[in-house]
Amino acid sequence: MLGGKPVRAFLLDVTGVLYNTSGNNSGIAIPGSIEAVERLYAESKVKFLSNESTATREGFHEKLTKLGFKLNVEDIITPAPVAAKYVQEHGLHPHLLVHDGVKPEFAHLPETKNSDCVIIGDAEENFTYDTLNDVFHILHGHPERPLLSLGNGKFYQRTDGPCLDVGGFVAGMIYATGCRHIELGKPAPTYFLKAVEALGVTPEEVVMIGDDIHGDVGGAQAVAMRGIQVKTGKWI
């Protein structure tokens, strides 16, 4: 199953691999996963590659710690800080349409009234006709201004049922404005390569473990990593 180059690092998906969502939103650790993380940490390089975009890395770390996982916050990779770094490196001034919980990830960026790009995430109740028009006004007639999205999912499971993810709002904005879209999140190749860079190895030396055959396994394989699908989370 794992033929080829020696495995030097692991990328782990989080939701559906380490824990499952539960009624009270705190989640339930999947049996054996706490010990598995501990063992991988002892033997290899490990990063946690998630599309979580409603919380900061610190908030996400706190949640996982409460569930019993021992991991370092700096080993968590989420789309928001990757997006913040992208706009800084490109000298861009983003307008944000994101979840309140993830806003602190962008607090270090200088404020501006003259935005030249948009960062959009799963904003839940922050998606309104007015906030979507604010985004539209920035992108309309400016094909050079990119729309950066924190993931591009179709929907996800909330405790009250399936809910629209950011992808539909991205598709709508592309339809209305013809804007350039930069996806930051699994399965975008650039996002996987950011994780490889953080691990300091080559893609061929990395194994991605996830529950999503497309987002995790397919995305990893597309950049020459190996991918393993676990039979938890979405698989069930």
Binding interface with a second copy (CB under 8 A): 123-130, 132-133, 136-137, 140, 154-155, 161-165, 167-177
Q: Which is nearer to a second copy, 97 or 223 (CB)?
A: 97
Alpha carbon distance 8, 202 (integer Å):
9
Contacts of 54 (CB under 8 A, 6+ apart): 99, 101, 102, 121, 122, 124
Q: Which is nearer to a second copy, 36 or 174 (CB)?
A: 174
**Least gap, CB of 57 to a second copy (angstroms):** 24
**Least gap, CB of 162 to a second copy (angstroms):** 6
The tokens describing 114, both together, are 């003259």
Q: Which is nearer to a second copy, 32 or 161 (CB)?
A: 161
**Least gap, CB of 133 to a second copy (angstroms):** 6
**Least gap, CB of 16 to a second copy (angstroms):** 19
Pairing of strands 28-29, 19-20: antiparallel
When computed from its CA atoms, the radius of gyration of the chain, rounded to whole angstroms, is 18
Contacts of 10 (CB under 8 A, 6+ apart): 40, 44, 45, 46, 47, 206, 207, 208, 209
Please state, in angstroms and as integers, the Cα–Cα distance from residue 57 to each residue in 103, 148, 201, 218, following that order.
Answer: 11, 19, 23, 25
Alpha carbon distance 40, 93 (integer Å):
39
The tokens describing 10, both together, are 């692991």
**Least gap, CB of 149 to a second copy (angstroms):** 12
Q: Which is nearer to a second copy, 28 or 171 (CB)?
A: 171
Q: Which is nearer to a second copy, 1 or 236 (CB)?
A: 236
